[in-house]
Amino acid sequence: MISPINLSSIYFYSKNSDANHLFEKCNCRVIDSICVSNIGRCEAVHVSPDSKKVAYASFDMNKIVVFDIDAGKNGVVVERCHFLGLHLESPHDFTWIDNDSIAVANRDGPAVIFSISSERAKVVVEMSNTNSVTSFRRGRLTRLVFCRTNNSLDYCDIDNEWELISKGSLCRTSLFKVPDGVAISPSGSFLAVTSALSNEIFLCDPDGEFQPIKIGSSERPHGVCFLSDDLILSTGGGDPFLYCWGVDGSFKFKFKALSKEQYALRGSDIEGGIKGICFCPSLQLLFLTCPNAPFLMYDAKPLLK
């Protein structure tokens, strides 16, 4: 049984006045003591490769909110906040390319990459109606894989200067009914894709060499991540649970990730559950988000035994 992190041990400190204002306004829709209601509809959460930053996609603010974090014995301390917003139009998901760069999937705009330190932004490819994105290295290039609302998986390859080298389609299939989440396995062998309207989770080939394989189903699956090359966690966007699957299609377990009070505040029966999910191996934490509780953290060590 996994346990939520003691929220009293999570502190917020920021020299950024906008961030302080964000925290001051958190009493409008508070479930957690640290729920930041001004972030609004929060669709995705991801931790940087070096585990020193955690970022959230705010669909309502049209921003990616990035926090510098320090995870120690006393909890997770947030020291600074960055707001990335240039060229963002309904950001639904994003992926860390490296410790400073984030690629964003916009529902209503092109794919954009940001540098946090320099605040540089660049439109990479005119690929609108994207739900989710993940990234991985292919030799000297970075491949970005996008889920799109037209039921396809598309990709683009970029170099270290963010120049577009190639693009195309990995898979377009009637099996997908609004693919909402995508994640790459640690070894790069598989893509996991959630299909929101068909309530299914699939495994796909990063090179598009085999047809998607169904491995499980849940209520309105949204976010997805790998615990290992063999284990996948998916969120139930329409329920309060997380689900664990083997890549062989075996169901492992599910657990309730939202309290009764949190789930009761959902805006609709199909959009009230956990949306984003991220597993951080070095911290052994699960980072989750839903509309009524943007900051949810769980101790993942029991899942790794």
| pLDDT at residue 17, as a whole number | 59
| pLDDT at residue 32, as a whole number | 40
Domains, the chain, in order of start with CATH, read 3-304 (2.120.10.30)
Q: Indicate the residue type of 24.
A: E
Q: Which two tokens stand for residue 208?
A: 């598009």
Instruction: Using 50 as the pLDDT threshold, list the residues of the chain that sit under it.
Output: 1, 6-12, 23-36
**Distance of alpha carbon 166 from alpha carbon 228, whole angstroms:** 29
**Distance of alpha carbon 103 from alpha carbon 55, whole angstroms:** 12
- Contact (Cβ atoms closer than 8 angstroms) between residue 193 and residue 221: no
| pLDDT at residue 21, as a whole number | 54
The residues that bridge with 142 in the sheet, in sequence order, are 137, 158
CA atoms within a 13 Å half-sphere pointing along the CA-CB vector of 154: 18
User: Token pair 């070894």 is at which residue?
Assistant: 187
Cβ-in-10-Å burial (0-12, 13-18, 19+) of 217 comes to middle
β 11-12/75-84 pair status: parallel
Residue of 72, 68, 143, 122 whose CA lies nearest to 99: 68
| pLDDT at residue 209, as a whole number | 82
| pLDDT at residue 58, as a whole number | 86
| pLDDT at residue 2, as a whole number | 54
**Distance of alpha carbon 256 from alpha carbon 236, whole angstroms:** 10
In angstroms, how far is CA 262 from the centroid of its own chain? Answer: 20
